[in-house]
Amino acid sequence: MESELRFLHDRSGVDETQDGTSVDSAIRRLRRAIAMHEEETNKKIANLEQLIEERKHQIDDIDENKAAENLELADSRERDGIEKLKSAFIETASKIHMHQLEHTHYDNAADFHNSLKETISHDITEKQARREAQRDELRKLEANLDEIRQERKSMLSKFKDSIRNKRLHEEEADLITIIGSEEEQPPPNMPISAINANNTKVENDIQIAKATRKEIEDQIDRLLEEGVKLKAEINEMTAKVDRAKKLKERMEKQFKSKLSQTNESNDKLKNELASIKSSRKDVKKDFAKANSQFDEYLKQVNQLQTEQQLLAEVIRFKEAEKKRIDGENEKTKNNIDSLKDEISLLHEELCELSNELANAAEKQKRVEALVEINNNDPRCSMKSPPPELAQLLESLNAVNEKLD
């Protein structure tokens, strides 16, 4: 230290004087300025270090991996929710499709039942028309049979009348023959005039009887001819009646068979109608059930649509939040990068300041050494400082300007 002071004393070339107060005051002021500048620089360094610590804490608080994991978890949950919504929508859509197929099947079944009902009603009307026609034919046959019966009765009555008249005529003829064959016994003691009168009367009666007999024979011949004709007509009528009976029996058999067939078909149709009615009731119940299910499905679809819309809104909101968070993360990353750049710049500035402070400390030591030398050397004064001190003051002023 003494060798350095001697070297500075030799280099200064300042004569020693008694006026050393101005140099001391300058050195004190310089020390105060250096101390104040050091305090300010220390405050700035402390503030910068505090800011760096805060930034480091902020950087430490921001865990990028954890944020990325949280974002991935949120994305996976959103994907799972979307998949669940898709599966639920597909299941609901498949149920709706099945309900539509059932509804179309029910419509087709209803159309089939309606067409079957129409065909059955058409067949029933046709069969009823046929039955009415058959009944009309039977009525006509019965009317014809009644007419034939009336004609037969009239013919039989005529035949019986003719036979009775014939018998009466035969009885009259027999009576006449018997009367004619009998010998009249004249009463005893009868006069001749009475006998002659009786004879003439008998002759007249015989003539009348002969004439009536001839007429009766002619009537009998006519009646026999009429009887033969009536017998032929009766035989023809009996043949017609037998044929009519046979036809009636055949018609009755056919009618009974047709009636049994129609009854069977009617029973079948009644059973089919009953089954159709029961099936129609079942179909109506199924329709009501299907309509209620369809209403429930529509409610579920509307609810699912509303839920889907809400989920879509939530997804859009989450996507917007994700974009916003991504933007904020990008901003934070950019801020972190800028903070890192600022920290690096501040670190460089601190390094420069530390270097300058080290240089200033060395210069201060040199100045203190020079001050001590100057204090010991009365030749040094503020009016004519040595060149080393002037250079040191200039360098200190330059450092102060840079620090300011």
336-357 tens-digit pLDDT: 777 777 777 777 777 777 777 7
Domain count, the chain: 1
Mention every residue, 6+ apart, whose C-beta is less than 8 A from residue 87. none
Report whether pLDDT(42) > 60.
yes
Residue 375's pLDDT is 65
Residue 19's pLDDT is 45
Is 13 a member of any domain?
A: no
Is 148 a member of any domain?
A: yes
**Full DSSP string of 240-290:** HHHHHHHHHHHHHHHHHHHHHHHHHHHHHHHHHHHHHHHHHHHHHHHHHHH
Is 187 a member of any domain?
A: no
Quickly count helices (H) and strands (E) in the chain.
5, 0
Is 118 a member of any domain?
A: yes
Mention every residue, 6+ apart, whose C-beta is less than 8 A from residue 343. 52, 55
Q: Among the listed ranges 6-20, 303-317, 388-402, which one has the minimum average pLDDT value?
A: 6-20
Average pLDDT over residues 354-375: 71
Confidence bin at 193 (pLDDT 50/70/90): low
Is 1 a member of any domain?
A: no
Name all contacts of 48-52 with Cβ < 8 Å and 24+ positions apart. Answer: 48/346, 48/350, 52/343, 52/346
Residue 111's pLDDT is 76
Euclidean distance between CA atoms 299 and 295, whole angstroms = 6
Q: pTM of this prediction?
A: 0.25
Is 391 a member of any domain?
A: yes
Q: Where in the sequence is the domain holding 109, given as residue range(s)?
A: 18-181+196-403
Is 205 a member of any domain?
A: yes
Task: Quick: pLDDT tens for 144-163.
Answer: 777 877 877 877 787 778 77
Residue 155's pLDDT is 76
Helix axes 64-181, 192-376, angle to 10 degrees: 180
Confidence bin at 9 (pLDDT 50/70/90): very low
Confidence bin at 16 (pLDDT 50/70/90): very low
Is 243 a member of any domain?
A: yes
